[in-house]
């Protein structure tokens, strides 16, 4: 009986040893498999990191290439703009001629006679009629009463009027923003002239009279004025009169 129990105990121990051995093998196998799995994960992670670095490096290269291309484009654009500026902007050595003088017609004397009183818009001159000194923004052309007055150049009549002190007057617009004014005319001589009429150089527009009270004491004459761009000018600078000597009263 004792021998039977001893054998049974041996069997139990043998089974336990076998179970323990199997468990040990299982643990060892599990450890090996876990280690291999970890190694594979590390390899995969390393591969992923390497791939990410490659992608990042490629992106950096593309950015550098893009920046290089952009810089090259900006340089080309600047060069193009400089070349365009060279074509359109004159250099300091270019000879540029800009005419500021208006194109004026050729004027003729509006009446036969000599200049008896010259133009003076800054220096005061003596007025025999008014018995004082004043400016004289025209020239007096001594002539005969009733002498024909002609247009000094082609133009358009601006106005025909009667002035209380200057008598009967006509103004004519000409090329080059020039205007001529004819004063001290006779009333009857201007009746056929109206504003807007086209007149030609040498065409009769009136006659010398004695209608200007300002200069009534002077000999018969035409008071003739010129402006260019609205500024009074000396007619003697633009017209060659028969005699430019001043006849002193």
Structure confidence by residue, pLDDT tens digits, 157-185 = 999 999 999 999 999 999 999 999 999 99
Confidence of residue 84 (pLDDT cuts 50, 70, 90): very low
Read off the tokens for 211. 């209608």
Q: Are strands 139-142 and 231-233 parallel, antiparallel or unpaired?
A: unpaired
Read off the tokens for 234. 């000396």
Query: Is the pLDDT at 219 greater than 70, yes or no?
Result: yes
Helices (H), 102-165: none
- Overall average pLDDT of the 3-18 stretch: 66
**pLDDT number for residue 5:** 57
d(CA 51, CA 49): 5
User: Considering only 29-38, 126-135, 137-146, which range has the smallest mean pLDDT?
Assistant: 29-38
In degrees, to the nearest 5, what angle opens at C-alpha 65 toward C-alphas 62 and 66? Answer: 85
Q: What's the pTM? A: 0.59
Residue in the structure block whose two tokens are 């200049």: 115
Sign of the Cα pseudo-torsion (66, 68, 74, 80, in order): negative
d(CA 161, CA 144): 22
CB atoms inside a 10 Å sphere around CB 114: 17
Query: Is the pLDDT at 89 greater than 60, yes or no?
Result: no
């Amino acid at each position: 009986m004792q021998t039977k129990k001893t054998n049974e105990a041996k069997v139990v121990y043998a089974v336990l040893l076998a179970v323990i051995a199997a468990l040990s093998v299982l643990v060892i196998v599990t450890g090996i498999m876990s280690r291999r799995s970890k190694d594979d994960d590390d390899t995969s992670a390393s591969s992923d990191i390497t791939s990410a670095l490659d992608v990042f490096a490629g992106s950096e290269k593309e950015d550098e290439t893009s920046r290089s291309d952009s810089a090259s484009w900006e340089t080309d654009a600047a060069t193009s703009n400089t070349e365009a500026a060279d074509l359109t902007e004159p250099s300091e050595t270019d000879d540029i001629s800009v005419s500021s003088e208006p194109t004026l017609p050729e004027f003729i004397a509006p009446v036969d006679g000599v200049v008896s009183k010259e133009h003076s818009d800054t220096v005061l001159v003596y007025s025999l009629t008014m018995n004082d000194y004043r400016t004289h923004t025209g020239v007096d052309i001594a002539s005969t009463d009733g002498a024909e007055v002609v247009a000094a150049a082609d133009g358009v009549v601006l106005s025909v009027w009667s002035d209380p002190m200057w008598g009967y007057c006509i103004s004519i617009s000409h090329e080059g923003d020039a205007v001529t004014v004819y004063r001290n005319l006779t009333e009857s001589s201007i009746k056929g002239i109206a504003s807007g009429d086209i007149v030609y150089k040498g065409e009769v527009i009136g006659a010398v009279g004695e209608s200007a009270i300002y200069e009534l004491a002077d000999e018969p004459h035409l008071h003739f004025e010129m402006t260019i761009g609205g500024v009074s000018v000396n007619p003697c600078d633009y017209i060659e009169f028969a005699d430019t000597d001043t006849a002193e009263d």
